[in-house]
Amino acid sequence: METLKTQVAIIGAGPSGLLLGQLLAKQGIETVILERVSGEYVLSRIRAGILEQGFVDLVREAGVSERMDREGEVHDGFEIAVNGERTHIDLKTLTGGKTVLCYGQTEITRDLMEARENAGLPTWYETSDVVLHDVKTDQPWVTFTHNEVAYRLNCDFIAGCDGFHGVSRKTIPESERTEHERVYPFGWLGLLSDTPPVSEELIYCNSERGFALASRRSSTRSRYYLQVPLTDDVEDWTDDKFWEELKRRLPADAAEQLVTGPSLEKSIAPLRSFVCEPMQYGNLFLVGDAAHIVPPTGAKGLNLAASDVAALYQILSRVYRNGDRDCIAQYSAIALRRVWHGERFSWWMSNMLHNFGDARINDMDAATFSRFMASELDYYLNHEDGLKVIANQYVGLPYESLK
Ligand code: RFL
Ligand code: PHB
């Protein structure tokens, strides 16, 4: 077995792992990233589109913001439509000047990959059999296989950035972690197309036929989503069927302007709220989707990954700068406080905007639950205080600093 050495072993080359690697490199901290699939495959996954200011600032600090600053669209607001009636959420006014950036996760990931490659930093794609060892000790190590050769990677710390299905979380013994989960009785079918988006701003649509979201990637590329039953398969949805259903769920004036075209990508994602506590075990830290999942309704998944990265980056910088190991224990509590706020917001938005069919929710029948949610929406969308609550959480709560 060949032996390698680094300071921080990062498992997973998604946005969490790549962003952490780039930030640590700025502090002169060595990293090796191990990724299960190819770089091309990582870039074929179409996911989030809305970045909070905290995320944007981190990407700038990592020195990888050149294309994001040029091509990302600043969004001052978005809309929520309830049965066709549109309410504008003026983020900038309601939050005292804050906005979000519309720039796809795929593009951020591509920029981070290129920066890492240009800096000559090691990423091992298409690795298999990744196993974490001795994570409770000061000398953890990772074994993996690449091109049929077995390797051992010695390190000081391991960052588990390997997503919901990764190995890192499962390395923590079951007796040492608690998992909180809510699975929703529907998924989101997403469609990407090179068509001009139906609106300058995102429109979150609550309709009797189910939820829909009109999002975008640029003035020529659209991203739309439909709430679909979990039993549906992507193959059940031709492009024509998707466009027809979207028109029925959008406000009538938007539907009239909708430009349709062939899909570049279509996929279904199940909706889930999930948190693993704690987010650290010895010298292993869980980051991003490895520790928590939110339903996409609040656009928080990627943004919570970024606040985890920010907390771990501060800790590891301090450890390597002045040998202060006491701060290590703060990671989980700092990360989880913000994670739970994001979880609560995403759960609440999902409850208000989807159609739960005839599923029982919170121990009540769906019709009763939907009345509560309709009243909740009515209140929040028609009072300045309510709009501020939505706006302040949509732009993202502040990051917490180390003590
Ligand atoms: P990722 O992006 O899942 O990356 C984890 C990486 O780890 C690799 N990996 C392994 N590597 C080595 N060894 C192993 N054993 C490994 N197991 C896994 C994987 O191949 C992968 O490359 O997690 P990360 O970096 O924490 O980033 C989080 C974000 O990707 C995620 O929060 C968001 O994309 C969530 N999400 C969405 N968020 C939004 O805000 N808006 C969206 O529209 C949105 N759409 C989505 C989503 C997540 C989805 N998944 C995961 C089901 C759509 C989907 C389909
Ligand atoms: C997206 O553009 O993919 C997107 C935007 C906002 C969300 C979810 C997904 O809440």
Atom of ligand 1 nearest to the CA of 304: 32
Domain assignment present for residue 264? The answer is no
Count of residues making up the chain: 403
Cα(111) to centroid of ligand 1, in Å?
16
Domain assignment present for residue 392? The answer is no
E strand or H helix at 193: strand 178-193
E strand or H helix at 85: strand 85-89
Cα(157) to centroid of ligand 2, in Å?
33
Domain assignment present for residue 343? The answer is yes
Confidence (pLDDT) at 148: 97
Domain assignment present for residue 227? The answer is no
Domain containing residue 297: CATH number: 3.50.50.60
Instruction: Let me know: does 104 contact 48? Beta carbons within 8 Å.
Output: yes
Domain assignment present for residue 332? The answer is yes
Confidence (pLDDT) at 355: 95
Domain assignment present for residue 135? The answer is yes
CA separation for the pair 145, 168 (Å, rounded)? 16
Domain assignment present for residue 41? The answer is yes
SS3 sequence of 94-112: HCCCCCEEECCHHHHHHHH
Catalytic residues: 75, 204, 296, 300, 394
CA distances from 381 to 93, 261, 347, 352, 376 (A): 15, 33, 17, 11, 8
The ligand minimizing its distance to the Cα of 43 is 1
Domain assignment present for residue 87? The answer is no
**Does the pLDDT of residue 285 top 90, yes or no?**
yes
Tell me, what amino acid is at 331? Y
Mutation test of ligand 2: which of 73, 101, 213, 302 has the most ligand atoms closer than 8 Å to its C-beta? 213
Instruction: Let me know: does 140 contact 157? Beta carbons within 8 Å.
Output: yes
Query: 167 in ligand 1 pocket by Cβ < 6 Å?
Result: yes
Cα(163) to centroid of ligand 1, in Å?
5
Residue with tokens 């504008």: 88
pLDDT in tens, 379-399: 999 999 999 999 999 999 999
Nearest CA to ligand 2 atom 9: 48
pLDDT in tens, 340-380: 999 999 999 999 999 999 888 888 999 999 999 999 999 99
Cα(319) to centroid of ligand 2, in Å?
36
Range of the domain at 61: 2-75+99-180+272-358
pLDDT in tens, 86-97: 999 999 999 999
CA separation for the pair 72, 44 (Å, rounded)? 19
Confidence (pLDDT) at 27: 97
Q: Which two tokens stand for residue 11?
A: 């498992």
Q: Which two tokens stand for residue 375?
A: 């009243």
Closest CA to 60 of 1, 108, 9: 108
Ligand 2, pocket residues at CB < 6 Å: 48-50, 202, 215, 223, 296-297, 299
Q: How many domains does the chain have?
A: 1
Q: Which two tokens stand for residue 350?
A: 């999902």
Please return the burial class of 262, using the count of CB atoms within 10 Å of its CB with bins 0-12, 13-18 and 19+. exposed
Confidence (pLDDT) at 257: 96
